Amino acid sequence: MRASDDRGQATAETAAVVPCLALLLAMMMWGLLVAAAQIQCVDAARAGARAAARGESRETALAAARAVAPEGARVRLSRQGEELRVRVTARPDGPGPLTVGVHAEAVAHVERG
């Protein structure tokens, strides 16, 4: 025979677990969005460095990087001698104060010919 104070126990447990699961799911999705932004930054830096190394103009190389970069990303191109460096920085939106910055950098040597 069940005690009368056990009634509604499953409902109370469900009410406590469901918000925790929803928070866990939201954090996992946010983590995937940050990872995707990081991958986009890597691809953008690589595309910009490749274009600059081929001898494309500065504007063309920056445009190649911006075409792949996450929305709102900052792209910088610098040259030191024969070395070209493209740095892409982005801040994917996060919940409240959990916004994180991601960046990537690619280095290429100027191609001759």
Residues 112, 51: Cα–Cα separation, whole Å: 13
* Neighbour-count burial of 91, counting CB atoms closer than 10 A to its CB (0-12 exposed, 13-18 middle, 19+ buried): middle
- Containing H/E element for 21? helix 9-53
- How many residues does the structure list for the chain? 113
Q: Give the model confidence (pLDDT) of 63-105 as tens digits.
A: 999 999 999 999 999 999 999 999 999 998 877 777 899 999 9
Residues 42, 56: Cα–Cα separation, whole Å: 20
Q: Give the model confidence (pLDDT) of 4-43 as tens digits.
A: 667 777 787 888 889 999 999 988 999 999 999 999 999 9
Q: 3: pLDDT confidence band, cut at 50, 70 and 90?
A: low
pTM over 0.95: no
- Other C-beta atoms closer than 10 Å to the C-beta of 60 total 14
Residues 38, 42: Cα–Cα separation, whole Å: 6
Residues 78, 58: Cα–Cα separation, whole Å: 9
